[in-house]
Chains A and B, each alone.
Chain A
Amino acid sequence: MATTRTITTPIPLVSPEAIAMGQALPSIGGSVPADFNQLNQNANGIDHAGWVASQGMAQNIGGQIHPIVGDYGLQYFPISNETVSFPFQMPRPFTKYSFIIYTRFDIDPTHKITAWIERDIFGTLNQTIVPLANYGTTVHPEMFTGTLSAPIQAFSSGCEDAILHIQITRDPLPFVTNSGSNLYWTGLLAFSLKLFK
C-alpha cells in the first residue's frame, strides 16, 4: 500500500527575503548570492509539491455511503464496466502525476479498478495511471505516482485540456439481496489527481 511520495527538493522553511538597496545583485558571469539559490530551491519545491488537477468524493446519505462508482445498499447490482470521466487542465511545467484513490472492494477477484489519462491532440492518446486490479477489502487510500509519457505531456507554454477516466469493473452478478448490511458499499469513495514536476 503506497501512501507517500518523496518531494525531491523540499521547499525551505525559511523564505527568501526581497533584496535591499546596497546588496550585491546577481550578474552575468558573477557569483550568485545565496538568496538566489534559495529562491531557486523555493521555486523547484513548489513544482515538486504540485498542483491539484482534479478531485472528487462520494456522499454519505443517512449513514449509507453512495460511492462515486461502485455498489451500495441491500442489493448486489450487476456491475460490469462503469466509467466516470473528469476533464481537467494540464499545464506544461508538469511532467509527473500523483493519483490517490480511496477504495474498498469485495472479495470477488473480478471486482477491480483502473484509471487513465486521455489527451486528444494527435488523435486519442491514453496513459494508464492505475493498473487494473482489486486493491483489497479494507477501506484505505492508495497512491500512484509516475511520469507522464512524452505524448501525454502538454506542449511548451501551454495549458491543455485532458480527461481523467476511472473505471470500476466486475463480472456481472444477478440482482440479489445482500444479507449483510444496508450500509454495504464497494468501489471508489474519493480521488485526487495532482500534477508536479
Chain B
Amino acid sequence: MLTNINLVRPTSGYPYQGHNLICNDIAGIADWQEVVESALSRISQGNPEASGSMGMAATYPGAMFIPGSANANYWLAERPVIGMSSGIGQYPVVPNTPWTIPAVFEIVPQFYRFAITVTFRLLGKSQFTFRGLSGYEWPGSLASYFDITLGSWYGGGVQTQLVQRFYKDLAYYTANVPLIHRLPTTPQDIDLATAVGVPEGDFKQFTILGTLANNMSPNLATITTGTISFGLCYPLNPFWETLWSASNVADGTTTQIEAAPHPLTGINYACDGLADFQLYFFR
C-alpha cells in the first residue's frame, strides 16, 4: 500500500508541449514547427532502456548488526554488477571462460542507434591478493578483458552483436593465452594498455556510440526482446601465469582487492568489473 500523498502529478498537453489549440484557432508556422520539433526531439532523445550499478552489503547476513565486530572478517563490501569483491561468499575466483550478466529491454527498430556508458575496472598485477598475504603479484591479471554484447531475441533464437571488447593488455594476452583459448581479433577490440591517459588498474569510464546491426530486427513492425550482456574474464589464474582449471577453485572469502577511486565521485571501491552502466536508444 502506497503511503505517500503525491499520487498524481499533472502533465502538460500531449504530445504538444506548448499550448493546446481549440476550435477556430489558427495554427501558424510557429505552432506547426513546435509540434514537429516535439516529435523529432522525442525520437532523437530516445529512451534510457537499461541501467545498473553496484551495491554494498554485509559480507555475511546480519554481520553489520553484530556489535563490537564479533568477527573481524565481517564488513560492508562492494557488490559490482559483475566482478570480484573483497571477501564475499564462496566462489571460484578466476574462470577461463567469461562470467556474464544480462539486462533486458526492448529493441524498437526505429530507435536503431545506441549510447552505452560503462564504468569498469580490470585489475593491475599488484592489486589482487589473498588475506594474510602481502607483496603478492598476479602477472596473469594482465590477460583480462571486459566486453559488451547486445542480443535480439526472435525466431526462437538470439542474434548477437559485439559492441566493444576492452583488453587490459592485448600484447600480453596474445603472448600468454594459448591459441586454442584465445578470442579472435575483432574491429571492436580496444587495447587499454595503449590508451592514452588511462591509469593502469583504475576504474575507467567510456561512452560508446553505435548502430544496431541489420539482423538485430526482423522487420520494422516487430519490437524484439533485447539483452545487453557484460562479460568479464581473467583467463590466467592467480597462482601461475597459466590457464585456470576447474580444480583451481579458490575460496572467495579470502579475496582482497586494492581499492581504487570511481572516476566520477572519487569514492574508493574494493572491487573490479562493472561498477555502473546506462544504455540509451535513439535515432
Contact mask for chain A residues 1-44; partner B; CB cutoff 8 A; 1 contact, 0 none: 10111110011110111110100011110000000000100110
Q: Which of B142-185 contact A (CB under 8 A)?
A: 153-154, 156
Contact A120 B2 (CB under 8 A): yes
Contact B225 A3 (CB under 8 A): yes
Q: From B63-71, B98-106, B130-138, B205-213, give the one contacting chain A.
A: B98-106
State whether the Cβ of A187 lies closer than 8 Å to any Cβ in chain B. no
Contact of A13 among B32, B39, B110 (CB under 8 A): B110
Contact A4 B225 (CB under 8 A): yes
Contact of A57 among B6, B103, B252 (CB under 8 A): B103
Contact A100 B225 (CB under 8 A): yes
| Chain B residues bordering chain A, tally (CB within 8 A) | 77
State whether the Cβ of A62 lies closer than 8 Å to any Cβ in chain B. yes
Contacts of A189 in B (CB 8 A): 101-102
Query: Closest residue to B154 on the A side, CB-wise?
Result: A4
Contacts of B79 in A (CB 8 A): 59, 61, 66
* Complex Cα spacing A118 to B49, Å: 22
Contact A163 B43 (CB under 8 A): no
* Complex Cα spacing A43 to B2, Å: 33
Query: Closest residue to B94 on the A side, CB-wise?
Result: A63
Contacts of B101 in A (CB 8 A): 57-60, 65, 189
Contact of A141 among B2, B84, B227 (CB under 8 A): B227
Contact mask for chain A residues 51-73; partner B; CB cutoff 8 A; 1 contact, 0 none: 11001111111111110000001
Contact A62 B89 (CB under 8 A): yes
Contacts of A4 in B (CB 8 A): 153-154, 218, 222-225
Given A160-B7, A160-B8, A39:B223 Cβ within 8 A: no
Contacts of A16 in B (CB 8 A): 36, 39-40
Contact B104 A192 (CB under 8 A): yes
Contact mask for chain B residues 87-115; partner A; CB cutoff 8 A; 1 contact, 0 none: 01111110100011111111011110000
Contact of B88 among A27, A39, A62, A191 (CB under 8 A): A62
Contact A102 B6 (CB under 8 A): no
State whether the Cβ of B19 lies closer than 8 Å to any Cβ in chain A. no
CB distance from A169 to the nearest CB of B (A): 21
Contact A191 B15 (CB under 8 A): no
* Complex Cα spacing A153 to B244, Å: 53
* Complex Cα spacing A163 to B37, Å: 33
State whether the Cβ of B195 lies closer than 8 Å to any Cβ in chain A. no
> B residues engaging A (CB < 8 A)?
1-2, 4, 6-11, 14-15, 23-24, 26-29, 32-33, 35-37, 39-40, 42-43, 47-52, 54-55, 79-85, 88-93, 95, 99-106, 108-111, 153-154, 156, 218, 220-225, 227, 232, 249, 252, 255, 273, 283
Q: List 13 A-B contacts (CB under 8 A).
A: A4-B218, A4-B223, A19-B29, A25-B29, A26-B27, A57-B104, A64-B89, A100-B105, A102-B102, A155-B8, A159-B9, A182-B90, A192-B49
Question: Which 6 residue pairs are nearest across A and B when measured between Cβ atoms?
Answer: A62-B91, A3-B153, A11-B110, A3-B225, A60-B101, A60-B82
Inter-chain pairs besides A42-B39, A121-B7, A141-B225, 4 sampled, C-beta below 8 Å = A27-B27, A57-B101, A157-B10, A190-B102
